[in-house]
Amino acid sequence: MLRRNDTGLFVKPAPAVYPFQWNWDSALAAIGLARVDVERGRQEVRGLLRGQWTDGMVPHIVFHPTSVDYSPGPELWGSAGCPGAPEILTSGLTQPPVLATAVRVLHEAAPDTGFLEEVLPGVEAWHAWLSRERDFDGSGLVAILHPWESADNAPRFDRALARVEPDGGPTVARSDRRHLASDERPTDRDYTRYLAIVEALRRCAFRPRSLAEAPFAYVDLTFNSVLAAAEEDLAWLWGELGDRGGRATSAAAGLREALAGRWDEDAVAYRELDLHAGEEQVAGTVGELMPLYAGVPDERRARRMFDEALWAPNRYGPSPEAPWAVTTVSKQSPDFDSSRYWRGPVWINVNWFLIRGLERLGLAAEASLLQDLTLELVSTSGFSEYYHPSTGAPLGSREFSWSAALTLDLIDDLRP
Ligand code: 2M8
């Protein structure tokens, strides 16, 4: 299936809906490719870095020249007119930085210091850019400037998004509508605001000097947890080249400490922050458990998070009415929706992050429970973009690359 989605230049996230190179999709694809074709995995990393901007940002979409019908496409971004953008057209946003982790997995599968010398400076520049450009409140945590930089229409963004003035955004046709059921996708109401944010950011070439130029700014814990783990992996990779990786080592420690400071004892979750509202919140989405992936809680706290949140039937865990876990939104939340995109369905990448986090914190039995359930889900319903938590039915696009790639990674653990 990954081979079918392989254009030769990059692996498409899915056959028709997402025909270009998306950032974290590619990194997650490379993690799976490390199990079957390491050189092809390295190509994925190289392809993504072709889209890097001179200031370090690795964009969320690289529009490799292919003749496909996708909207909103490169014209929405106008990257060619932005200082520091590469020759190849890209979006002006970024995405959770899984790349360093992918490079580490590739290197562990087949060590190649030549490859590290080639790609680590780019990864380093991206991470440095994130802390330089996106730490708006000096907390050590970075902000996303658009829901497209994380889990698009997750309810945690609703309030911040509602504040965005929808007028002024361009009107574009949505190609997703031609391929997928509209009740499984973000609404038009959300979409007009997504476009209005792009329009506002485009006015400053996607480099707001202050929050006043960014209509949406959110300290997302999925993004920050992925970054914390990636900084640690980057420091390890520099070590393979005999370098101390000083910036990455201290960034990893700083991020972990800042994440730890977001713990909410009553909610048994970590708090996120809408920077324009200035209020930390627990909104009942799985992002609040993601610091598990970065090894933030100690074993005791991680166990509590597992028992009282992640695996709790009334929150994210399996229940008689919804046996497939983990849900992306707590079942207690009034916003829980079993079919709509990031508002409830089960996603394989989320499960994979949590499995790896539980393992690193010493919760091997708990990690296995989630791993078994995840593998059962893909064997029952195939490699879909997301899944209905009650029926396990495939939702969104079929033949979704990261679902297949991460399955390859998970089954590799089962080899004797
Ligand atoms: C989704 O995002 C795109 C826009 O970038 C969309 O909604 O059309 C998200 O799930 C995102 O996380 C993912 O990287 C992308 C491609 O799979 O699709």
Predicted pLDDT of residue 382: 98
What pLDDT is stored for residue 159 in this prediction? 96
Length of the chain measured in residues: 416
pLDDT for the residue numbered 172: 81
Separation CA 306–CA 368 (nearest Å): 13
The pLDDT of residue 264? 98
How many CB atoms are located within 10 Å of the residue 324 CB?
Answer: 24
Query: For ligand 1, what atom is nearest to the CA of residue 402?
Result: 17
User: What's the N-to-C CA distance of the chain in angstroms?
Assistant: 25
| Mutate-to-test residue for ligand 1 from 12, 18, 328, 395, highest number of ligand atoms within 8 A of CB | 18
Q: What is the pLDDT along the chain (416 residues), one digit of tens a residue?
A: 999 999 999 999 999 999 999 999 999 999 999 999 999 999 999 999 999 999 999 999 999 987 677 888 999 999 999 999 999 999 999 999 999 999 999 999 999 999 999 999 999 999 999 999 999 999 999 999 999 999 999 999 999 999 999 876 677 888 898 888 999 999 999 999 999 999 999 999 999 999 999 999 999 999 999 999 999 999 999 999 999 899 999 999 999 999 999 999 999 999 999 999 999 999 999 999 999 999 999 999 999 999 999 999 999 999 999 999 999 999 999 999 999 999 999 999 999 999 999 999 999 999 999 999 999 999 999 999 999 999 999 999 999 999 999 999 999 988 77
Residues catalogued as catalytic: 152, 385
**Ligand 1 atom at shortest distance from the alpha carbon of 400:** 17
Long-range contacts of 251-255, Cβ-Cβ distance < 8 Å, separation of 24 or more:
251/127, 251/131, 252/228, 254/140, 255/140, 255/141, 255/224, 255/227, 255/228, 255/231, 255/294
Query: How far does residue 148's CA lie from ligand 1's centre (Å)?
Result: 7
- Closest residue by Cα to residue 222 from 158, 162, 154: 154
From the CA of 176, give the closest atom in ligand 1: 8
If one residue of 5, 22, 352 were mutated to test the ligand 1 pocket, choosing by the most ligand atoms within 8 A of its CB, it would be 22
The rounded distance, in Å, linking the Cα atoms of 156 and 149 is 13
pLDDT at 414: 82
CA 25, 28, 30, 33 torsion-angle sign: negative
Residue 240 CB partners (closer than 8 Å, separation 6+): 107, 111, 113, 116
- What residues flank ligand 1, with Cβ below 6 Å? 13, 18, 22, 24-25, 148, 152, 176
Phi, psi of 270, rounded to the nearest 5 degrees = -105, 145
Residue 279, beta-bridge partner list: 274
Q: Which atom of ligand 1 is nearest to the CA of 17?
A: 8
Residue nearest to atom 17 of ligand 1 (CA): 13
CA nearest ligand 1 atom 2, residue: 148
Does the pTM surpass 0.75? The reply is: yes
Pocket test for ligand 1, best of 148, 180, 340, 406 (most atoms within 8 A of CB): 148
Q: What is the pLDDT of residue 173?
A: 84
Mutual orientation of helices 246-260 and 113-134 as an angle, nearest 10°?
A: 50
